[in-house]
Amino acid sequence: MFAVKENTPDMTRAMESGAARDLKVYSDNYDIKFFGKLSAARPKELLGSKPQTCRFCDKSEPIVTFKEKAHTIPRFLGNKRLLSLYECDSCNERFSAFDADLAKMVMGELSVGLVKGYNGVRTLTSKGQNSRIESIGGQQTIKYFVGEPFMSQDAENRSATIRYQTEPYRLLGAYKCLAKIAFSLLPDDQLINFSELKQWLLEKDVDKNKVYQDGYHSCFHSSVPGFRPYQQPGVILLTRKTDIPMPYCVLVIAFGNISLQIFPPCPKKDHGFVGKSMAITKFPLTYDLQPWLINGTIETTVIDLSAADSVRQERQIFIEYGEAEKHPSQPNKEAAA
């Protein structure tokens, strides 16, 4: 197995010159295989053709059915337009468990970023607390009950830190969801390079037949300050065209205030780097390249998504707000909006 070397010394993308260098690395060494915006403002797009054959299990009707609307990217990430004709109902049902893992991993970001899923914007609460973040009439509202640890407020700077606990989820399940997105977006002529990933996606268990060992499921998590900087969710898929020691495949998806980037497993193309250091570099997006468009810096961390067991995690999110109101009718209650 190749060793992964993180190529982001301070993990903070504040200089456009560094982001420009990273962009050149990608433009010189990678081809874009898919790029798309996912909002409802754009026409719906169906990937695949009829008669339908599932690209995951290779089965066709009448052995399997294709009755469900298969979202190439989960609906909870804001995808309202990109659907698939090559995902059967059986595979769709299996993938729903991995989708749930990713949804729980980013539940706070979905709420704060006002990302609309199946039932609108998610309400964020913390276990055993009454405080919450919810969308009311298209506006984000924080209802904070004084004394609960859900929020600490800096009234002078109109900012707050939200603290909550995730629902139990599997980090490797979240990674598997992202890897499934990448496999769904690959052009047909690339599928032969990802047979090991395909086999793993056929397993209901996240640990069985996984392609790489623990420690090789890295994910860049980047948080952009401000109000919904990624108003239209977007996705980009790239594959390497040179022999540069970087992963063959790269998936980036951005929504709300964050972007996620993984390197889907591809032993057929990455085997030449076994035993060698392989750089992983963040693909620069708009605000990396033009940091003057935002007030603050982009915070980037590398998360290891190798754990297969369910975990609950304590999380915190920093936000800024416009107005705060106290409700005297309920003395222990304060609401910030």
CB 83 within 8 A of CB 44: yes
According to DSSP, residue 193 is labeled: G
Q: 261: Cβ–Cβ under 8 A, 6 or more apart, which residues?
A: 219, 220, 222, 250, 251, 252, 253, 282, 283
Over pLDDT 70: what percentage of the chain?
A: 88
Cis peptide before 265 (omega within 30 of 0): no
Domain that holds residue 319: 3-336
Count: domains in the chain: 1
List pLDDT tens digits, range 244-265. Answer: 999 999 999 999 899 999 999 9
Which of the residue ranges 61-65, 139-143, 175-179 would you say has the lowest mean pLDDT?
Answer: 139-143
SS3 202: coil
Strand order in the sheet with 70-71: 45-47, 82-84, 70-71
Q: 308: Cβ–Cβ under 8 A, 6 or more apart, which residues?
A: 170, 171, 172, 173, 206, 207
What is the pLDDT averaged over residues 226-243?
A: 91
pTM recorded for the entire structure: 0.88
What are the tokens at 3?
């060793």
